[in-house]
């Protein structure tokens, strides 16, 4: 089965309780996010609501497009600092 890797940064890492995880490919980003929210609970839901997402290093503009097998999805919550 084909997979994608989800990498969590900063507050997303703390909310998910891990730095990354592997999940089946073929779903859209919105479908993946719903699964992750269900799996990890309310704290991650809050972080996902304000995060940006990169797919293989490129900003995701179509959250309904199926994720390609082998892709890396970066979850980037807002960062503080300058």
How many other C-beta atoms lie within 10 A of the C-beta of residue 64?
Answer: 8
Q: Would you call 82 helix, strand, or coil by DSSP?
A: coil
Give the least confident one: 1-5, 47-51, 54-58, 76-80: 76-80
Share of the chain above pLDDT 90, in %: 87
Looking at residue 81, its pLDDT comes to 56
Model confidence over 28-67: pLDDT tens digits? 999 999 999 999 988 999 999 999 999 999 999 899 999 9
Record the pTM. Answer: 0.91
Q: Would you call 61 helix, strand, or coil by DSSP?
A: coil
Q: Would you call 59 helix, strand, or coil by DSSP?
A: strand
CB 37 within 8 A of CB 23: no
The β-bridge partners of 3 are 24
């Amino acid at each position: 089965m084909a997979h994608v890797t989800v990498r969590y940064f900063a507050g997303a890492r703390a909310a998910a309780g891990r730095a990354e995880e592997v999940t089946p490919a073929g779903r859209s980003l919105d479908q993946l996010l719903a699964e992750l929210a269900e799996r990890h609970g309310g704290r991650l839901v809050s972080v996902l609501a304000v995060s940006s997402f990169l797919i293989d290093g490129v900003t995701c503009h179509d959250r309904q497009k199926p994720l390609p097998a082998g892709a890396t999805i970066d979850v980037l919550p807002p960062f503080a600092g300058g």
